[in-house]
Structure 1
Amino acid sequence: MNVVMVVEDDPDVREATGLLLEDAGYEVLAAENTAQALSIVQARQDIDVIFTDVNLREDRNGIELAHEIKARGSRACFVVVSGDLGWSDTPLGEDMRFLAKPYGRRSLLEVVGEACSRARRP
Structure 2
Amino acid sequence: MNVVLVVEDDTNVMEVTCLLLEDAGYEVIAAHSAEQALQIADGRSDIDVVFTDVNLHEAPNGIELAHQLKARGTRASIVVVSGDLGWADTPLDEDMRFLAKPYGRHTLLSVVGEACHRACSH
Match of 1:24 in 2: 24
The count of residues paired between Structure 1 and Structure 2 equals 122
Counterpart code for 2:16: A
Q: Could you tell me the TM-score, scaled by structure 2's length? A: 0.99
Match of 1:113 in 2: 113
Aligned-pair identity in percent equals 72
TM-aligned CA deviation for residue 79 of structure 1 = 0.4
Match of 1:47 in 2: 47
TM-aligned CA deviation for residue 73 of structure 1 = 0.3
In the alignment, the residues of structure 1 paired with residue 59 and residue 80 of structure 2 have an alpha-carbon distance, to the nearest angstrom, of 17
Question: Can you give the 5+ residue segments of structure 2 that lack an aligned partner in the other structure?
Answer: none
In the alignment, the residues of structure 1 paired with residue 57 and residue 91 of structure 2 have an alpha-carbon distance, to the nearest angstrom, of 21
Alignment deviations for residues 62-102 of structure 1 (CA, whole Å, 9 cap, x no partner): 00000000000000000000000000000000010000000
TM-aligned CA deviation for residue 107 of structure 1 = 0.3
TM-aligned CA deviation for residue 20 of structure 1 = 0.1
- Structure 1 segments (4+ residues) deviating >4 Å: none
Match of 1:58 in 2: 58
In the alignment, the residues of structure 1 paired with residue 73 and residue 117 of structure 2 have an alpha-carbon distance, to the nearest angstrom, of 18
Indicate the RMSD between aligned Cα atoms, in angstroms.
0.5
Alignment deviations for residues 15-70 of structure 1 (CA, whole Å, 9 cap, x no partner): 10000000000000000001110010011110000000000021210000000000
Please state if 1:35 is matched with 2:35. Answer: yes
Match of 1:98 in 2: 98
Q: Could you tell me the TM-score, scaled by structure 1's length? A: 0.99
